[in-house]
Amino acid sequence: MKIILISLLTLSAVFAETTINMKKCEVLEMSPYTKLFSCHKIDYLVEYKIEVDLSEADSINKITIITPTSQKVIKIGK
């Protein structure tokens, strides 16, 4: 019984810390078609399509990950 109780307390502490860290994320709307999501020293630059075709489910044109040392495009839309 004590092992289960200790396990539950440990897991709740881990999830509580994760929740606190997620509150440090910010969103900056740079334009109607560009947003910058900043979270844990990593920025995500999301560029939306200007003209959205109704048959497409995805309106994201490009996603770029920006770290203190590099940047990398992880998605380019069609």
Alpha-carbon torsion (40, 41, 47, 53), positive or negative:
negative
User: Residue 38 is which amino acid?
Assistant: S
**Per-domain boundaries in the chain:** 25-78
pLDDT digits (tens, 9 = 90+) for 19-65: 445 567 899 999 989 999 998 788 999 998 887 666 667 788 899 99
User: Binning pLDDT at 50, 70 and 90, where does residue 4 land?
Assistant: low
Q: Which residue has the tokens 């509150």?
A: 23
* pTM score of the predicted model: 0.61
How many other C-beta atoms are found inside a 10 Å radius of the C-beta of residue 35?
15
Per-position DSSP letters for 24-64, written without gaps between them: T-EEEEEETTEEEEEETTEEEEEEE-SS--TT-S--EEEEE
